[in-house]
Amino acid sequence: MRVLVVYDVSDDSRRLRLSRELERMGLSRVQRSAFVGPGGLAVAKEAARAAAQLVDDSTDVVHVVLLSEVEWANALVVGRPLAAPRVAEVTLLG
């Protein structure tokens, strides 16, 4: 399974602490505000719990999605992901 974490966190220090926590959990940054990595429900809950302790509920939002290896491998990617592309980088013909 893969855990995908996507977030809108306005405060710089909260955002930095969340990204560090996600890295500590073994997730890789694929966009400025998106991390993905191996894991099941336990990792997803751990990520959500970390987010709940770090972000401001009134302004911020974090989505933690559990998806299969195949679904992440089949993701269509346009442009340049930050982490080494774990997915087949799709070059879309015009």
Q: Is 56 in the site for its own copies (CB under 8 A)?
A: yes
Q: How far is the CB of 6 from its own copies (least distance, A)?
A: 5
Separation CA 93–CA 74 (nearest Å): 17
**Residue pair 5/50 in contact by the 8 Å Cβ criterion:** no
Q: Which two tokens stand for residue 5?
A: 């974490």
Q: How far is the CB of 28 from its own copies (least distance, A)?
A: 13
Q: Is 61 in the site for its own copies (CB under 8 A)?
A: yes
Separation CA 9–CA 27 (nearest Å): 18
Q: Which residues bind its own copies (CB under 8 A)?
A: 4, 6-8, 30-34, 44-45, 47-49, 51-53, 55-67, 71-72, 74-82, 90, 92, 94
